[in-house]
Structure 1
């Protein structure tokens, strides 16, 4: 019996890659990465790498870098003039970023008759990021299905479901353990740093000081997995 297809939104970071890796066991995965004007452009190279590692049926890198001009000074992930904080602050929220990503992913999913759209939001994201919450995922799935309901009713397309570790109640460390079970130490090629890296000893490393790097360190500690990521501090 042919496997269902899944469109996996994969930034190249730890969470999205781990989730894509777990889904690749049961689905034919189609990976989708966005260049949206983010400071951390190295994550895109990481996504390209893991598309090969996970044997994605197809990997698209979508250039929506024009979004940077719309975002202006609204967030620190696209505005390099702002300092990256060690703890969560509101300027780490990129306005409706996941809504944009999921809508584009939904169009691709319906075009290839994929069953699910997946993104790596986990339970630890839920308190801070509204577009990581399960109720948001359900709402946007309903909107997308409503937007093509006639094709769904005639059987030309199938309904899509938007899924995430958060909807399963998975923490970042639990997601990490699941991804590590599939990828092993290959997952250290993921890029989590909100900056584009710090040059140290002839190579770029994670800064080790931004909120995302600190969360990455904590996840490895909580998962009891030796962290072999290179950090500047």
Structure 2
């Protein structure tokens, strides 16, 4: 039996990981984390939606201490008085200075180290070898060092030493940008309209699709990916 845990935020990257995993593994668990962010309720809804759509198991873990750490760091994802940064044009997405500033504003301290470590602990409790599927990708790796293959390889070294079970992080889209991910999702008939890239979802359609703000950096990357891929964007925007 091939067993996998998909780190699932509900965005396009982790949704692509889910559909990739569906093709290769016998038993799948969606693993999501709540940490007092503006995305918490979105994560819950999208997790449950895809769990229902694809008949996979789900586990949601609450990390209240990470909310405290994030607020101390001044992250706009947990500070209620701070709005996530907005991007007015696609060109700004490629400006390194702006991208780095945006990354700092939405940074959650040690998030991926923590998430992967908890996933590894869960995988280590299994009686069979278990892979962790992680949505690291080339586009976000340019500004988020914990979204790179180097980061994944180093985490795998630690997990190899720290787990008794055979546990390995897989990052199937580490060399992909958002356009490539959109193409993959389209080719696999993924229900992309139910995924959420937005930092500040406030409304939902009657069908349960999140309505994106359309202006935060993450929304702009989503929009650009569909445009670059020449694929109609099914996302609902305000």
Cross-structure match for 2:71? 72
How far residue 116 of structure 1 moved from its aligned partner, in angstroms, is 1.3
Cross-structure match for 2:188? 182
Cross-structure match for 2:230? 224
Cross-structure match for 2:201? 196
- Segment of structure 1 superposing worse, 133-142 or 78-87: 78-87
In the alignment, which of 120, 125, 131 is matched to residue 116 of structure 1? 131
Cross-structure match for 2:94? none
1:143-162 to structure 2, matched below 5 A, reads 143-148=158-163, 151=164, 157-158=165-166, 160-162=167-169
How far residue 17 of structure 1 moved from its aligned partner, in angstroms, is 0.9
1:64-103 to structure 2, matched below 5 A, reads 64-74=63-73, 75-87=75-87, 88=99, 89=102, 90-103=104-117
Q: Residues 16-72 of structure 1, C-alpha deviation per residue, up to 9 Å, x if partnerless?
A: 01111111111132110111111012132111111222222x210111133111221
1:131-170 to structure 2, matched below 5 A, reads 131-148=146-163, 151=164, 157-158=165-166, 160-167=167-174, 169-170=175-176
Q: Residues 186-215 of structure 1, C-alpha deviation per residue, up to 9 Å, x if partnerless?
A: 2101111101335899x9621111011111
How far residue 73 of structure 1 moved from its aligned partner, in angstroms, is 4.4
Distance in 2 separating the partners of 1:98 and 1:173: 23
5+ unaligned residues in a row in structure 1: which ranges? 152-156
Distance in 1 separating the partners of 2:204 and 2:17: 29
Pair 104,125 (structure 1): closer, same or farther in 2 beyond 3 Å: same
Work out whether residues 126 and 166 of structure 1, in 8 Å CA contact, stay in contact via their aligned partners in 2.
no
Distance in 2 separating the partners of 1:210 and 1:115: 35
The CA RMSD measured in Å over matched residues stands at: 2.0
In the alignment, which of 180, 201, 212 is matched to residue 206 of structure 1? 212
5+ unaligned residues in a row in structure 2: which ranges? 88-98
Partner SS state of residue 72, structure 1: helix
Pair 139,127 (structure 1): closer, same or farther in 2 beyond 3 Å: same
- Segment of structure 1 superposing worse, 86-95 or 27-36: 86-95
Pairing 1:21–2:19 present: yes
Cross-structure match for 2:6? 8
Runs of 4+ in 1 over 3 A off after TM superposition: 198-201
Cross-structure match for 1:62? 61
How far residue 144 of structure 1 moved from its aligned partner, in angstroms, is 1.7
How far residue 109 of structure 1 moved from its aligned partner, in angstroms, is 1.3
Distance in 2 separating the partners of 1:80 and 1:60: 26
